[in-house]
Amino acid sequence: MDLETLNERTFPAPPPPKRRLLRGGVLAVGGLAAVPVVLFLGLYLYLRVFQLVFPGVTVGGAPIDGLTHSEAVQELDRIWNRDFLVTAVDAMTPEDAWLVLPGEFGLGVDADLTADAAYAFGREEGLVAGLGQLADGLISGVDITPVVVIDADRARRALVEWGERLSQPAMDADVYLAEADIVTVAAESGKMLDVDATLLLLESDPADILLDYRFIPLLTVAVDPALTEVDDAVERIRSYLHSPPQVQAFDPVTGEHLDWTPAPEEMAYWINIVREDDHLDVMIDEEGVEAYLRDQNDGLGSERGIDVAAAVPEILEVMESGEAVSLRVYYNPTEYVVRGSDNIISIAFDVGIPYWRIQEANPMIAVHGLSVGEAIVIPPRDANLVVPPVENKRIVISISQQRMWTYENGSLLNEYVVSTGMANSPTMPGIFQVQIHILNAYGENWDLYMPHFLGIYEAVPGFMNGIHGLPLLSSGVRLWADVLGSPASYGCIILDLDAAEVVYNWAENGVVVEILR
């Protein structure tokens, strides 16, 4: 925008000062013909003797006739430097304008030099010329152009300050989450004052700016935002919110499958939006995932929980693929206070943990035995799960009912009649799992063969109890076919031969076996 265009606006300007009478009662006259020659000559001499500015003299339209030189300096300084206002205009948005003193921008009138020029009128070229100039002033007046000066250093300082005032930073496009709602912010251009260009314009013709245009052009320029598009980030956020990872926690002890798939409102706390140069990166915040898992973990109580540190990378790994992740629930050791009737075997059967595992957790038992009232450590309820549990299959055995049930995907598959251990060699209740498959295991202690043997727990180290078909003595005698449904074994769980084969082929290593009292 050029100065002519800006000047088409209407800017307030100070009203012209009223004309003043000459000191001592000297009046402005309408024409030389109406003044007697003597009086006219007397007026001229009067002005010279008393060193007054000639009648009709104005400076930029402001009358200073009849003033002494020093009075003219003071009046010009007041009019042009202290009372005169111009308009500072934002060239980009001309509706933004401010009344200012020109001196704020280093512009002003040199009152001394201007008074010199005004006072010199009528005095420089002798009597005849002086009388002619007096006549010109009385008849038509004469206007002296003010001497305009600019202080470039002051102007620059002012422009720097105004630059801070006018500066509007560009607003980059942005996106953020309000709970599960995606909120986008459109990019907006900013502006800044071009200090050098504005100063150059002021210095190029300060007189025109002050006297003709009477405004200070502030040359602002647009500042483009660095980031204008966030569509890719929005799409990525939307994909995370609407396709969260399927998270389950599997408790092999209880058989529970806990659905921990986060809702969109919860997923929002996982999403981290990071500015990278001219684009936005959308990342999953590990701390957000960890905080979510800890909240879920706290709901499990003090006895059980997941390995949060190990679970976080598992979830991060499936974030892009959308695959499901199953987290295992682990159990913590507990405390047992020894009672008067307790021994290591009775405690083992009460808590469902083989006695030798309890001894391992409490080495002092081997030194001084058990003491009534003593608190001992009981290994976790999942201590007997030594291979990764199979999640979709489960075997449940009831000692009291002499029955076994197999489940797949939460549904009952089969029910079997079984025989568990005799009173002097009981089957231990607890949470165990299939650890080994032996097609036809040999029991040296009893000289018998155990078809389709599934080893499920070590009654003592190196001695595995399990599930198998009716045993066969080396003599060829088949045992216990006529007593299925009653305790008969040396601790194993006995099935008929057909059932044992079916279960043997169905239950892979890792299937959890829950033995109830």
What are 151-163's pLDDT values in tens digits? 999 999 999 999 9
What pLDDT score was predicted for residue 334?
A: 96
- Place 40 in a pLDDT band, splitting at 50, 70 and 90: confident
Other CB atoms within 10 Å distance of the CB of residue 290: 17
Q: Does domain 390-516 have CATH number 2.40.440.10?
A: yes
Q: Do 390-516 and 334-378 fall under one CATH topology?
A: no
Residue 501, phi then psi, degrees to nearest 5: -65, -40
pLDDT at residue 35 above 90? no
Q: Which of 453, 457, 429, 447 is nearest to 516 (CA)?
A: 429
Q: What CATH homologous superfamily does 334-378 map to?
A: LysM domain (3.10.350.10)
Task: For residue range 394-426, list pLDDT tens digits in order.
Answer: 999 999 999 999 999 999 999 999 999 999 999
pLDDT at 278 (0 to 100): 83
Would the pLDDT of 274 be above 70?
Answer: yes
Span of 12-21, 230-239, 465-474 with lowest mean pLDDT: 12-21
- Whether the per-residue pLDDT at 260 is higher than 90: the answer is yes
Is residue 10 pLDDT above 70, yes or no? no
Residue 334 φ then ψ, to 5° = -125, 180
Output the pTM of the full model: 0.68
Residue 122, number of CB atoms within 10 A of its CB: 24
**464, 455 in Cβ contact below 8 A?**
yes
pLDDT per residue over 281-337, tens digit each? 999 999 999 999 999 999 999 999 999 999 999 999 888 777 889 999 999 999 999
Q: 14 pLDDT exceeds 50?
A: no
Cα–Cα distance for residue pair 233/177, rounded to 1 Å: 12
* 276-285, 350-359, 483-492: the lowest-pLDDT one: 276-285
pLDDT in the model for residue 13: 44
346-391 pLDDT, tens digit per residue, is 999 999 999 999 999 999 998 889 999 999 999 999 999 999 999 9
Q: How far apart are CA 155 and CA 98, in angstroms?
A: 16
Write down the H helix ranges in 184-230: 195-204, 206-207
Question: End-to-end distance of the chain based on CA atoms, in angstroms?
Answer: 95
- Cα–chain center distance at 158: 38
Name, in order, each residue with C-beta under 8 angstroms of 415's C-beta and a sequence gap of 6 or more. 403, 404, 405
Q: Where are the domains of the chain?
A: 3-168+193-217, 231-323, 334-378, 390-516
Q: pLDDT, tens digit, for every residue of 45-57?
A: 888 888 999 999 9
| pLDDT more than 90, % of the chain | 81
Q: How confident is the model at residue 4 (pLDDT cuts 50, 70, 90)?
A: low
Token pair recorded at residue 480:
């216990």
User: What is the number of other CB atoms lying within 10 angstroms of the CB of residue 434?
Assistant: 24
CA 337 to chain centre: 51
- Enumerate the β-bridge partners of residue 258: 249
Residue with tokens 């679970």: 311
2 band by pLDDT with thresholds 50, 70 and 90? low
Q: Is 209 exposed, middle or buried (0-12, 13-18, 19+ CB in 10 A)?
A: buried
The Cα–Cα gap between 458 and 460 comes to 5
- Cα atoms in the Cβ-side hemisphere of radius 13 Å centred on 200: 6
Average pLDDT, the chain: 90
Sign of the C-alpha dihedral computed for residues 363, 367, 370 and 375 taken in this order:
negative
SS3 317: helix
Q: What is the pLDDT of residue 115?
A: 95
For 464, other C-beta atoms within 10 Å of its C-beta total: 19
pLDDT above 70: percentage of residues in the chain: 93
Distance CA 46, CA 273 (A): 86
The position carrying tokens 């987290």 is 327
Band (pLDDT 50/70/90 cuts) for residue 33 is very low
Give me 515's structure tokens.
Answer: 């033995």
Report how far residue 214's alpha carbon sits from residue 236's, in angstroms, rounded to the nearest whole number: 56
